[in-house]
Amino acid sequence: MGALGACALALEPDGPKAEATSDSIEPDNKHVQLVRYAVAAHGEIRLPNAAHESLLMGIRQFRRISEDRTEENFRAGGAVWDRGGAAYTVRNTGDFPGEFVDVELKDSYASGQQYAPGSERDAVALDAQHFRVILENEHVRLVRLLLAPRQGTMDGQFRMRLEIPLQAMRVEISDADGPTQEIVAEAGSAAWHESGRLRSIVNLDEQDLDMLILELKHPFCYPALNEGWDFPPGTDPATEHYVRNVREAVGKSWRKHMPREVREGQKGLVTLRFKVQNDGTLLEDDTTVVQEFANETLLEKSLSALREAAPFPAFPPSFSKPDATFRFTFSYSLPPNSAGCP
């Protein structure tokens, strides 16, 4: 497909002195670099000049001083944007140690990157009771999540993001693309997550959950949407043929009656995971929306394309499993490959 849209399908496998420490996020994370600083009471530190824009986020109180000597105070959960190449000093004017995290956006100057399309399932829009925007610009959105003990969030869609709890936490996360997990983390720790839809975040602790979520607006990463894909070595030819037939059936159904807004350039991306029974049927409850960077019209177009393509042919004799799980990505007015992504 050209600029209008494309689709991809895959068969899923089963003087005070300041101390600076570096938190490892991911060994090969090309998007952000994170350093956590602890500044002694009444101490001061001059930050190294960052090549790119960066964001300072307070774990505990701190004061930032810019080159023109402008001073700004920040408490836990506060944040300030730093220009790339500028020099900044951080001073702790309190009687207790201060702590903050410096997140540099390593590819903030890159060109040709896609911005994440809007989503009807945006967590901030759907659950303003718990999510509050602290800072937002063309590169990022910083959100603060507050949950009382045993409280949970609503289903929401997130971009690529960094999560930093402001105090120790124990939560249960229900991911649309995986099993429910219990996660325990210390204050000031960092976790990196790819774009995805979360069913809920539940606070399992007896104290309030207080967490910063830094979402990247770009680059927007998604699977390469070319006409072919690689099968694992040793895949049975009959299985390859079957998967291609499923892809072609869904794609043919999807290309019918494309919404007018897509022809006018509306962007979006929807990823569905669905389970096909060995007789080719698709049960009503066996489809999950994994990603939904789209409006309701594009989501319904994607779901209806899948429903209308079913039932599929029965499995080939060589594929003896009772069912198989597929993942299908519908791209609307996006390039075949996402620039700036691995």
> Tens digit of pLDDT for each residue in 1-43?
334 566 677 667 664 444 444 344 554 688 999 988 888 888 8
Map residue 304 onto helix, strand or coil.
helix
Going by the DSSP 8-state scheme, the letter that residue 122 receives in this structure is B
User: What is the rounded CA–CA span in Å between residue 304 and residue 117?
Assistant: 21
Confidence at residue 44, expressed as pLDDT on a 0 to 100 scale: 87
**By C-alpha distance, which of 119, 113, 55 is closest to 268?**
119
Angle between helices 237-255 and 296-309 (to 10 degrees): 130
Contact 28, 342 (CB under 8 A): yes
Radius of gyration of the chain (CA): 23
- Per-residue burial over 1-27, b = 16 or more CB atoms within 10 Å of its CB, e = otherwise: eeeebbbbbbbeeeeeebeeeeeebee
Phi, psi angle pair for 58, to nearest 5°: -80, 125
Report residue 16 as tokens. Answer: 């005070």
User: What is the rounded CA–CA span in Å between residue 51 and residue 83?
Assistant: 9
Rounded to the nearest 10°, the torsion over CA 228, 229, 234, 239 is: -60
> How long, in residues, is the chain?
342
Confidence at residue 108, expressed as pLDDT on a 0 to 100 scale: 87
Report residue 239 as tokens. Answer: 């299985």
Report residue 127 as tokens. Answer: 């659950």
User: What is the rounded CA–CA span in Å between residue 250 and residue 240?
Assistant: 16
Map residue 237 onto helix, strand or coil.
helix
Which residues of the chain are under the pLDDT cut of 70? 1-7, 10-11, 13-28, 61-69, 71-74, 225-234
Map residue 202 onto helix, strand or coil.
strand
Expressed in angstroms, the distance from the first to the final Cα of the chain is: 22
**All structural domains of the chain:** 5-13+224-332 (3.30.1150), 32-105 (2.60.120.10), 123-216 (2.60.120.10)
Phi, psi angle pair for 243, to nearest 5°: -60, -40
User: What is the rounded CA–CA span in Å between residue 307 and residue 284?
Assistant: 9
User: What is the rounded CA–CA span in Å between residue 250 and residue 282?
Assistant: 12
Confidence at residue 144, expressed as pLDDT on a 0 to 100 scale: 96
Confidence at residue 38, expressed as pLDDT on a 0 to 100 scale: 86
